[in-house]
């Protein structure tokens, strides 16, 4: 296995699938302002995905560009964590996913900005600024829903309980990677803990911890997502627009 390639591909797939999921909220968010915010966050993730997948294609050396990696791989060839492929669910679930992912991506990209790989460092320096906004936005909604009405609190706690087990995969140790994800756990906990407390939400106990995404073993949800995302490219291969 190629450590830098697998690492870069995994991060690119995380961002790509997160972007696709968030884009599903376009025209469906509960407020017009939120509709625009989620679309912008999706575009941020897509921008990071393009940079990472382009670099992954270069590291692979097989002539595949960002489009080939995005549209011409099957689900078993994707290396994203399971968290990002989970269905959006209700708005609380989406906010839990966004908050937890940003609480991981911000220290990740910050660490990448100081790594020895110049390409990854440049990507990290750009993406960390966007991730800081994603974290603030997710935290705002987690607190707003958690410490809101009885119904919003119930939904936000249920969302946290549902999504939490999937956060553990984010920190699987990879000492050969430019940044070992295991070293990011404390920063994640430092971001998440105070927000959950202010939101009057209970942090779930760590028990079941599903994994497999980094090795290509995914939930059934990814196949459906890819079928929709890839259909046009596969139906008209090589088309120019």
Judge whether 135 lies within some domain: yes
Judge whether 110 lies within some domain: yes
Q: Is 38 exposed, middle or buried (0-12, 13-18, 19+ CB in 10 A)?
A: buried
Judge whether 143 lies within some domain: yes
Judge whether 241 lies within some domain: no
N- to C-terminal Cα separation, the chain: 36
Judge whether 155 lies within some domain: yes
What domain range is 92 assigned to? 4-235
Q: What is the pLDDT of residue 206?
A: 79
What pLDDT digit, counting tens, does each position of 125-153 carry? 999 999 999 999 999 999 999 999 999 99
28: CATH:
1.20.1260.10
CA 101 to mean position of chain CA atoms:
5
Based on the structure, what is the number of domains in the chain? 1
Q: What is the pLDDT of residue 237?
A: 86
Q: What is the pLDDT of residue 238?
A: 81
Question: Distance (Å, rounded) from C-alpha 145 to C-alpha 155?
Answer: 8
Judge whether 240 lies within some domain: no
Q: What is the mean pLDDT of residues 190-210?
A: 95
Alpha helices in 147-178 (DSSP H): 150-163
Look at residue 27 and tell me whether its pLDDT is greater than 80. Answer: yes
Judge whether 15 lies within some domain: yes
Judge whether 224 lies within some domain: yes
């Amino acid at each position: 296995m190629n450590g830098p390639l697998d690492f870069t591909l995994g991060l690119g797939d995380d961002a790509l699938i997160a972007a696709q999921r968030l884009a599903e909220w376009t025209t469906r968010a509960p407020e017009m302002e939120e509709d625009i915010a989620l679309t912008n966050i999706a575009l941020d993730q897509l921008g990071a995905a393009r940079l990472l997948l382009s670099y992954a294609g270069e590291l692979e050396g097989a002539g595949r560009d960002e489009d080939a990696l995005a549209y011409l791989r099957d689900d078993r060839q994707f290396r994203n964590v399971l968290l990002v492929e989970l269905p959006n669910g209700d708005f609380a679930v989406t906010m839990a996913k966004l908050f937890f992912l940003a609480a991981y991506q911000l220290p990740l990209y910050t660490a990448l900005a100081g790594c020895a790989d110049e390409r990854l460092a440049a990507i990290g320096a750009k993406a960390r600024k966007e991730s800081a906004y994603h974290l603030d936005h997710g935290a705002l909604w987690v607190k707003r829903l958690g410490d809101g009405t009885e119904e919003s609190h119930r939904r936000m706690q249920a969302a946290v309980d549902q999504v939490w087990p999937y956060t553990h995969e984010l920190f699987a140790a990879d000492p050969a990677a430019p940044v070992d994800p295991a070293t990011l756990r404390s920063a994640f906990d430092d971001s998440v803990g105070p927000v959950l407390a202010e939101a009057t939400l209970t942090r779930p106990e760590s028990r079941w911890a599903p994994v497999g995404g980094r090795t290509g073993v995914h939930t059934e949800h990814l196949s459906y997502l890819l079928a929709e995302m890839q259909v046009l490219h596969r139906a008209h291969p090589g088309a120019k627009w």
